Amino acid sequence: MRNTHYNKIKGKKVLVTGGLGFVGHNLVKTLVNDYQCKVIVVDDCTNSNESVIASVRDKVTFHKVSVLDGDAFFPLMVDVNYIFHLACIQIAASSSDPLLDMQVNAQSTLQLLEQIRHGEYPVLERIVYTSSCSVYGSTSRLPLDENDPTNVLSNYAATKLLGEQYTLIYNRNYNIPVSIVRYSNVYGYGQSPRNPYCGVLGKFIHNSLTCQPLTVVGDGEQTRDYTFITDAVDATILAAVHPMAYGDVFNVGSGIETSVNRLANLISDYVKDATITHVPERDIDNIRRRVVDIEKIHQRLGWVPKMGLQKGIESTIDWYKTIL
Ligand SMILES: NC(=O)c1ccc[n+]([C@@H]2O[C@H](COP(=O)([O-])OP(=O)(O)OC[C@H]3O[C@@H](n4cnc5c(N)ncnc54)[C@H](O)[C@@H]3O)[C@@H](O)[C@H]2O)c1
């Protein structure tokens, strides 16, 4: 049975930063189509374009604005009930422009929280900050739960963790209503294969459909925990509406550890001509294994992932076929 807390967001006014991004535009579409929300999208198109929300464009207000530009951004928050703060500089770009990474991932969050602390936002019910399981870094103790120590190994992980910490501090010190989700490798439709940051799964699917080999780095036994986009969106909305999510942090994943070899095999089972090739390990492959514990979000909020990996990959491949 559908968790009744979801009904709270129906018809509400919602602002989504980074709302043209992979997760963002899927979230926007769900908020419009399933919850009849009045959605304001804020995105500066650093890594996206407006065409991704074409199907809901007449029901959404889009502002090509940077989250760092308070003069343009803050007036859009008036009378908003929920804010989903997704705007980010992705991990692959974070070390080439570390200052921008810090500004977008962390400073914009602090600016937003400061604005709410000093401004008048009487109908604001929740801000959701979307963080990343990369904050855990590398560890031998798996699965990772929210009480495990953080161990950042990249600029991106450092700035996402800083964004989280500001968010929690402003909750504790000023009662600003927040929740945090830590996504683990989100995949699925809407993640452009032309985007250089689309991750191993996106790259594999793109290559399998364009007659290029799936390139496995090292022995292929590196693992991650893959989350299907609809599950990530569902968990994010639940983190906004559930009273038990207030002021807290939740892993969002499948709880299943999947190797690169398994991904390659699942794809080559579905795309008949796909071939697999191996290349030596790179220095940046610094996290060997990752799988997250999803008991907290299950026990507290009643969320469980619904999409299995095989079906998720197949539906992602079917979507890629429509855009290639
Ligand atoms: N996709 C994943 O697997 C994953 C994993 C962990 C965490 N996350 C987090 O989830 C959120 C969404 O990730 P995504 O995969 O959709 O990323 P994405 O890069 O697809 O989307 C980010 C969006 O933010 C926009 N943006 C960048 N700088 C901006 C600025 N200054 N002002 C306004 N907009 C700006 C980009 O144009 C883009 O549309 C991010 O906060 C990310 O850190 C994603």
Give the CATH number, domain containing residue 41: 3.40.50.720
What is the model's pLDDT at position 324?
80
Instruction: Report the largest interatomic distance among the alpha carbons of the chain, rounded to a whole angstrom.
Output: 59
Q: Count structural domains, the chain.
A: 1
> Does residue 22 have its Cβ closer than 6 Å to ligand 1?
yes
Tell me, yes or no, whether 209 lies in a domain.
no
User: What are the residues whose beta carbons fall under 8 Å from the beta carbon of 171, sequence distance 6 or more?
Assistant: 177, 178, 246, 247
Tell me, yes or no, whether 275 lies in a domain.
no
What is the model's pLDDT at position 92?
81
Tokens 């079906």 belong to 311
Tell me, yes or no, whether 78 lies in a domain.
yes
| Range of the structural domain that residue 37 is part of | 4-188+226-255+292-307
> Does residue 224 have its Cβ closer than 6 Å to ligand 1?
no
Task: Using alpha carbons, list the distances in angstroms from residue 283 to 105, 138, 184, 286, 288.
Answer: 25, 14, 22, 7, 12
Any catalytic annotation for residue 183? no
Tell me, yes or no, whether 157 lies in a domain.
yes
Tell me, yes or no, whether 322 lies in a domain.
no
Nearest residue (by CA) to ligand 1, atom 31, is: 66
Taking the centre of ligand 1 as the mean of its atom positions, its distance from the CA of residue 273, in whole angstroms, is 33
Tell me, yes or no, whether 264 lies in a domain.
no
Tell me, yes or no, whether 39 lies in a domain.
yes
What is the model's pLDDT at position 3?
81
What is the model's pLDDT at position 244?
98
What is the model's pLDDT at position 139?
84
Taking the centre of ligand 1 as the mean of its atom positions, its distance from the CA of residue 94, in whole angstroms, is 12
> Does residue 16 have its Cβ closer than 6 Å to ligand 1?
no
Task: Using alpha carbons, list the distances in angstroms from residue 308 to 220, 225, 275, 305, 312.
Answer: 21, 12, 23, 8, 6
Task: Give the H/E segment covering residue 167.
Answer: helix 155-174
Q: Using most ligand atoms within 8 A of CB, pick from 29, 86, 184, 236 the residue to mutate for ligand 1.
A: 86
Tell me, yes or no, whether 239 lies in a domain.
yes
Residues 180 and 23: their CA atoms lie apart, in Å, by 15
Tokens representing residue 114 in the block: 């400061």
Residue type, 131: S
What is the model's pLDDT at position 283?
59
What is the model's pLDDT at position 287?
85
Regions of the chain where pLDDT drops below 70: 1, 194-197, 283-285
> Does residue 164 have its Cβ closer than 6 Å to ligand 1?
no
Residue type, 85: H
> Does residue 14 have its Cβ closer than 6 Å to ligand 1?
no
